[in-house]
Amino acid sequence: MKLLLKLTGVALILSFVLTGCKKDFEEINTDPHGFTTASDGSLFNSIIESLVLTGDEQFYINNEILYKQTQQAALTKEAWGNFTLGTESMWGNYYRSLPNFRELEDRFTAMPVTGESMNMKAMLKIVLAYKTFKITDVFGDIPFSKAGYGFQTLDYIQPLFDSQQSIYTFLLEELAWCDENIDVTAVVEEPFPTFAAFDRLFQGDMLMWQKLGNSLRLRYALRMSDKEPEMAGGIIRDIVDNQRPLILGYSFITYVGESACLWPAAMGFKNTSLNWSFREHQNLRMGSTVWHQLSRHDSTDGSGIFDPRAYIFFEGNNANKWVAYPQIPGITTPPSGGIPYGSHRDGVATFQIKGESCIYSPFNYFLIRDEDFMPIPMVTGAETHFILAEAYFRGIGLPKDPTLADIEYMNGINASVQWWMDVASKSKLPLSGLTFPEKVSIPPDLNAASVLTVFGSWNVTTDEEKLAFIYTQRWLDAFRQPWEAYALTRRTRMTPREGEPINHFRLPYPPSEVEYNSANWAAAIKNQGGGDTPEYKIWWIK
């Protein structure tokens, strides 16, 4: 990270020098307190761009580690041992963007307190919280409060690690500040200071930003509830009792389908690394664990499928048969093969060619090939409902209420199924323009109701079984957020699973941090139990 911070600092200094010749012109007819230069907005724009997953993160972390650990899919062959390429990519993405956050934070101090400036400040805090929560939930303690300032002072070139507990406390307080200070009536047009033109998430819709901030508060309060029950309960209670805005899938009985996602075409980028990560990796298939949450039995004709998301997440093998790879294969298990993720499948005539040795069901090709219309989810409305269902069911910050828990649970299933079907209906292949509905026929009798015939809470009798249903459906909804499913699996240890309980709780720090910040790295390892290996638990895991 030392090297990354130095390079980032040099880049910023050069940008200031190269734009300095325009200074006199910019001062004419300029609001001295406003964000009026392109470079200010571009800093925020670069922060939003940094939310896009890197290819190495998807390849070496999601595909090689997280899908296996969550059992959302089966890893048919562990062929890539160099996972540090993925941890370096995640670490570098975060710490390259952090100086931009710090620079904007510094500029905010010179601005007057207005609704417009407070909104920009809140937007920055919400994105910083999202990125920081994600990185700390993977590694544990990380440099944070003193990090990102290397371009301002050499004192912070090798920053101390903050405890994950202190990071959680700080970020949740920051998100509460955002909820209190966002002004949804503030002007989002020039000459007023605004990030609206650079807001590729919500195009300046501050109510959606407020909903995202509160949804993150809800997610992370629940995540730490086993370690900080009073604080977590207070946050959940505040949000629910005061009816704070949240990203929702359903409003009473009306589908609203809200989400916070990175939509490539709408945001002006192509998610090319998605298909690369599957095409080059090749080793992910539908596993028996997830298959048994989507189908009543193992008939290869698909007659047991009751969940339409099976057709969105996976597809038949080369013979168009539904065959799951055993989650725990035996020595006689036939190997997986074929070319189901090759870009040749973009063609009309070649779409069905997956290779004769593709004998197990792969991920749906549209899901991993569509680089324009397949979103990168951050928060879905369904997730919010599942969080509330757990909070009501367990009495976390709220009175135990099985009826309200069941309502939220059913809303979560309804929202997830409808949202994923809407996403699939708009999916399109980049070369041929083939659409999902043209190539994939979901039986018309499959919908949220067919899911509830199996996963309705009335089908079980014990509290443990009902809670497992909530976790299962949240786990399914997070199919393209394996890092979120990884957090759920580690926290609850009640998500669908075959074999031994999970014993993988974190990722080792990347080698660059060990080399360039060795003393602080060693202190952080000691603080977390003494080992930099996956079996050491991070703070919020019991």
**What tens digit of pLDDT does each residue of 8-37 get?**
443 443 343 333 333 333 333 344 444 444
324-364 pLDDT, tens digit per residue, is 999 999 999 999 999 999 999 999 999 999 999 999 999 99
pLDDT higher than 90, residue 272: yes
Whether 324 is in a domain gets the answer no
For residue 37, tell me if it sits in a domain: no
In a domain, 432, yes or no: no
CA distance 280 to 139: 26
Asked if residue 448 belongs to a domain, the reply is no
Question: Mean pLDDT across the stretch 259-288?
Answer: 96
d(CA 13, CA 22): 15
User: Domain of 517: which CATH number?
Assistant: 1.25.40.390
Residue 144, in any domain of the structure: yes
Burial class (CB in 10 A: 0-12, 13-18, 19+), 230: exposed
Q: Which domain holds residue 145?
A: 1-20+47-228+511-542
The confidence score (pLDDT) of residue 79 equals 75
Q: Are 86 and 60 in contact (CB under 8 A)?
A: yes
- Give me the number of domains the chain comprises: 1
Residue 174 lies in a domain: yes
Domain-embedded: residue 346: no
**Is 301 among the domain residues?**
no
DSSP 8-state secondary structure symbol assigned to residue 57: I
Structure tokens at 286: 């539908």
pLDDT tens string 391-407: 999 999 999 999 999 99
Among residues 419, 420, 426, 448, the alpha carbon closest in space to that of 307 is found at 448
Taking only the tens place, the pLDDT of each residue in 488-542 is 999 999 999 999 999 999 999 999 999 999 999 999 999 999 999 999 999 999 9
Mention every residue, 6+ apart, whose C-beta is less than 8 A from residue 457. Answer: 406, 409, 466, 469
The percentage of the chain sitting over the pLDDT mark of 70, rounded to a whole number, equals: 91
Q: Which of 5-9, 42-46, 118-122 is most confident?
A: 118-122
Reported as a single tens digit per residue, the pLDDT across 293-315 is: 999 999 999 999 999 999 999 99
DSSP 479-492: TT-HHHHHHHHHHH
pTM over 0.95, yes/no: no
